[in-house]
Amino acid sequence: KDQTPYRNDERERVKKCGAAVMSVDQMEGNEPMHENWGDLDLGVDIDLEGKPPRVWAKGENYPGCAFTRSIGDYIADKIGVHAEPEMLTREISRNDEILVIASDGIFEFLTNQAVIDMCAECDSPLEACERIVKASYSQWMHYEDRTDDITAIVCFMQCDSQETKEEKDTTMRLVVGNGVENPRRKPKATGTRHERSLSLYEKKDDLDDVQDLQVDQSYTS
């Protein structure tokens, strides 16, 4: 989750460090003081009103951060807006196909799912990055007369199809002879790697001079 004053745990943490949390309207006296910020979950929801709770030094009109963690902000660091990250460990599975690392400006008007959906329609990470940044810029120009930082890194992750236990436990019996490619090289034929290995084996009957060779599965899979 994003580290912002919308989160009750982050809001209470900076307040314990001496910060005051309020919107610009509250700070200027145009709105009553409250902490009823709703259940907005940035990344899933979009803040279209643009009046988020901000972090201030008590009695001052600075720094006014709409985030609760930051790198290199000397003043804000004194009231709890520090650079200590929240660590989340996740085991990558075969179902994880797209990784996006982006600055908060990307997600100001784009949800997490919208970003992933755009990436899924692209043929390359570069195309995905360009599309995300352009979409973000367009949204900023629609809702504001400025843009925030909009930087993105996209990685397309791929893994081989799941091999069966039988395929893992079996030692393929390949043949090496005239006209047969070295089994230690990656076959150039089409089809799955298991099918290509079998196609080499089936050529045994067509060879005049055949030498049997036990090859570990790892050379063909």
Mean pLDDT in residue range 47-63: 88
Alpha-carbon gap, residue 52 to 65, rounded angstroms? 10
Segment 91-115, tens digit of pLDDT:
988 889 999 999 989 998 999 999 9
- The set of residues, in sequence order, having a beta carbon less than 8 Å from that of 88 and lying 6+ positions away, is none
Write down the pTM of the prediction: 0.63
Pairing of β 98-102 and β 63-65: unpaired
- What is the chain's mean pLDDT, rounded? 76
Secondary element (H or E) of residue 177: strand 173-177
pLDDT digits (tens, 9 = 90+) for 147-197: 989 999 999 998 765 555 554 444 333 333 333 333 333 334 344 433 333
Count of helix runs (H) and strand runs (E) in the chain: 7, 7
Which residues have a Cβ under 8 Å from the Cβ of 36 and sit 6 or more positions away?
none
Measured in whole angstroms, the distance separating CA 211 from the mean position of its chain's CA atoms is 50
Q: In this structure, how many other beta carbons lie within 10 angstroms of the beta carbon of residue 193? A: 16
Q: 94 burial class (0-12, 13-18, 19+ CB within 10 angstroms)?
A: exposed
